[in-house]
Chains A and B, each alone.
Chain A
Amino acid sequence: MRSLRWKIAGHALALVATVLLGGLLSATLVRLAPGFDADERELDPHLSAESVQALRDARRQDHNVFRFYFSYMKQAMNGDLGTSLALGQPVRTLLRDRAPLTLRLLAIGLALAWLLTLTLALTAAWLRLSVYDTLTTALSGTFLCIPAAVLALLSVLWNAPGALAIALIVFPHTYRYARNLLVKAYSRPHIITARAKGLGEVRILFWHVVPVVTPQLLAVAGVSVSMAVGAAIPVEALCGLAGIGQLAWQAALARDLPLLVNITVLVTLVTLLANSGADVIGHVVRGQEA
């Protein structure tokens, strides 16, 4: 119990540090990007000299990346995430409006990916037929070799939901690990003995295989969240879905510093939470086994 508490505390500390550094990295990248100082609004002939100067002054505050980041953090503590430069709306509102769609997309996409992964990997491990194994490996291999953006385009072409594209992007990565884990687990001597003694497949699965593979599968599940978040960008951008992935895409193209920093922090947070959560649950499962 004590070690679990330390593990959670360690994870939390690493998570906060990485999230903060991630935000700083993003802010630095934007600040160093060529053309950061240029503001098209300054070219508007309707603006007076004072207005142009006001725009320049507002932008000057962002010049020092550490000062910008510090003031951003201070505002964020009070719930103010700043205003998007490109969209002219509060970042908080933008994220709040778009989060449900992305969350739904990720949840359905991940659920589909894991359903496909576990179905194919389990049947491959159960059947132990080389033809079936070759077929499923070829299927996952094919999807692995298709760019994520092409899968997004094909989903548009076939009127398939964006979640399916995310599932097909994540599935080949998870399948490879899950299949190898399950095949390895099923080839363990005690499972071969259990089979030889006539123990039912369901009992073997839940009593002998699941406890062995769960911690590793949980780690893969954590990583799959990061993959799905990455996949959401081309899927939302190309399928015209107004989620956070599309917002990230727009923020990057418009070099929208406040929006980009917030999205980077959010993405880092989600990724790390998923990985740490999987790690902690895996630790608990291993502890129960022991």
Chain B
Amino acid sequence: MSLWQKLACVILALVLCASVAANWLAPAGYARQYREATDAPPSRTHWLGTDEMGRDRFARVLYGTRISLLLAPAAALLSTLMAALIGGLAGYLGGIWARIAMAVTDLFLSLPWLFLLITARALMPLNVSPLVSVLVTFMLLGLLGWTTAARVLCTTAGSLRGSDFVRQARAAGLPGQRLFWVHVVPNLKPVLYAQFWISIPVFILSEANLGILGLGVAEPMPSWGSLLKELEGLVSIGEEPWKFVSLILLVVVVTSFQVLLSKQEEMAA
């Protein structure tokens, strides 16, 4: 592991710890309003000031980070499992199954990711409770984000199907299902890990895009997307630089994932 990758690990661990400890670091919570101090600049009581509804920005950043950082991996896990099931199985079975799976992935990939995501999210109920909106947003990311990974897994599983050890196992009379779970899936693991790690920053950014467009997590629950929506009301950058903290944090976290990704990609190669 290089120095940059170690640094990325430390940053991610720190951010994750801080977000998990949000209850202790910001005990007032993300929804409490300080009506006497709306849109206030940073102070001793509010380290990052308050938003236009008088809510403590520091608390909202911590809680928002927790939601984005915990649910993006959950969505990545869902999409990786779907990709393993669809792409891995289709590649292993080959023939018509592989062709059908690839046609479906081609169909999804022919639509730009953001267009597909926005369309699908807008079609889901928008006036729902904050918790449901969180689940809908991240579940949608997981359910739609499997296509690229499925394509890679289909190709990998296809090449494994023709490999000597799988042929020998089949010739020795190992049933197809057992062969898939015992011999094919373990060999797909490096690709699965890589796809999982690749998906996390993609989903974090996608949630942020949805949030800014008003299709992400519903108020008052914070997420990086809903926090970044605040930038819409800015008149100039220099006036209230503290409003950029959530953006800086997002960029730092996604960069850390990208730095770690190169290691995962090497492992998958």
List B188-221 residues whose CB lies under 8 Å from chain A: 201, 205, 208-209, 212-213
Interface check B15, CB cutoff 8 A: no
Residues of A within 8 A of B208 (CB): 147, 149-150
Task: Give the docked Cα–Cα distance between A33 and B243 (Å).
Answer: 36
Interface check A262, CB cutoff 8 A: no
Please tell me if the beta carbons of A157 and B212 are within 8 angstroms of each other in the complex: no
Closest to A158 in B: B237
Task: Give the docked Cα–Cα distance between A227 and B235 (Å).
Answer: 29
Interface size class of B (residues with CB under 8 A): 35 or more
A30, A149, A227: which contacts B209 (Cβ < 8 A)?
A149
Please tell me if the beta carbons of B125 and A264 are within 8 angstroms of each other in the complex: no
Closest to A152 in B: B212
Decide yes or no: A249 and B228 within 8 Å by CB, A18-B107, A35-B125 being known contacts: no
B209, B235, B251: which contacts A234 (Cβ < 8 A)?
B209
Residues of A within 8 A of B212 (CB): 147, 149-150, 153, 234, 238
List A235-281 residues whose CB lies under 8 Å from chain B: 237-238, 248-249, 252-253, 255, 260, 264, 267-268, 271-272, 275
List B210-269 residues whose CB lies under 8 Å from chain A: 212-213, 225, 228, 231-232, 234-237, 247, 250-251, 254-255, 258
Task: Give the docked Cα–Cα distance between A230 and B119 (Å).
Answer: 11
Please tell me if the beta carbons of B250 and A145 are within 8 angstroms of each other in the complex: yes
A226, A255, A275: which contacts B122 (Cβ < 8 A)?
A255
In whole Å, how far is B34's beta carbon from the nearest beta carbon of chain A? 26
Please tell me if the beta carbons of A29 and B112 are within 8 angstroms of each other in the complex: no
List B111-138 residues whose CB lies under 8 Å from chain A: 111-115, 118-120, 122-125
Interface check B2, CB cutoff 8 A: no
Please tell me if the beta carbons of A33 and B123 are within 8 angstroms of each other in the complex: yes
Decide yes or no: A234 and B114 within 8 Å by CB, A147-B212, A147-B250 being known contacts: yes
B111, B123, B237: which contacts A271 (Cβ < 8 A)?
B111
A33, A141, A233, A249: which contacts B258 (Cβ < 8 A)?
A141
Interface check A221, CB cutoff 8 A: no
Please tell me if the beta carbons of A18 and B255 are within 8 angstroms of each other in the complex: no
Please tell me if the beta carbons of B119 and A248 are within 8 angstroms of each other in the complex: yes
In whole Å, how far is B52's beta carbon from the nearest beta carbon of chain A? 16
- Of A19-27, A88-96, A107-115, the segment with at least 4 beta carbons within 8 Å of chain B is A19-27
In whole Å, how far is B200's beta carbon from the nearest beta carbon of chain A? 12
Interface check A34, CB cutoff 8 A: yes
Residues of A within 8 A of B45 (CB): none
Please tell me if the beta carbons of A234 and B111 are within 8 angstroms of each other in the complex: no
Decide yes or no: A33 and B115 within 8 Å by CB, A148-B209, A150-B212, A150-B247 being known contacts: no
Residues of B within 8 A of A271 (CB): 110-112
A30, A149, A248: which contacts B115 (Cβ < 8 A)?
A248
Number of interface residues of A (CB under 8 A): 45
Please tell me if the beta carbons of B114 and A231 are within 8 angstroms of each other in the complex: yes
Please tell me if the beta carbons of A18 and B209 are within 8 angstroms of each other in the complex: no
Closest to B231 in A: A153
Please tell me if the beta carbons of A268 and B111 are within 8 angstroms of each other in the complex: yes
Task: Give the docked Cα–Cα distance between A149 and B251 (Å).
Answer: 13
Please tell me if the beta carbons of B255 and A141 are within 8 angstroms of each other in the complex: yes
Interface check A168, CB cutoff 8 A: no
Decide yes or no: A29 and B119 within 8 Å by CB, A141-B258, A227-B112, A234-B213 being known contacts: yes
Interface check A47, CB cutoff 8 A: no
Task: Give the docked Cα–Cα distance between A18 and B232 (Å).
Answer: 37
In whole Å, how far is B96's beta carbon from the nearest beta carbon of chain A? 16
Please tell me if the beta carbons of B232 and A238 are within 8 angstroms of each other in the complex: yes
In whole Å, how far is B101's beta carbon from the nearest beta carbon of chain A? 14
Task: Give the docked Cα–Cα distance between A34 and B121 (Å).
Answer: 11
Residues of A within 8 A of B110 (CB): 18, 22, 226, 268, 271-272, 275
Interface check A164, CB cutoff 8 A: no
Chain A residues in the interface with B (C-beta under 8 A): 14, 18, 21-22, 25-26, 29-30, 32-35, 141-142, 144-150, 153-154, 157, 226-227, 229-231, 233-234, 237-238, 248-249, 252-253, 255, 260, 264, 267-268, 271-272, 275
27 pairs of residues in contact across A and B, judged by CB atoms under 8 Å: A18-B110, A25-B107, A32-B123, A34-B125, A141-B255, A142-B251, A144-B254, A144-B258, A148-B205, A148-B209, A150-B208, A150-B228, A150-B247, A153-B212, A157-B235, A157-B236, A226-B112, A230-B112, A230-B114, A233-B118, A234-B212, A248-B118, A248-B119, A249-B118, A252-B122, A264-B115, A275-B110
Given contacts A14-B106, A248-B119, A260-B119, 6 further A-B contacts (CB under 8 A): A18-B110, A146-B251, A150-B228, A157-B237, A230-B115, A234-B209
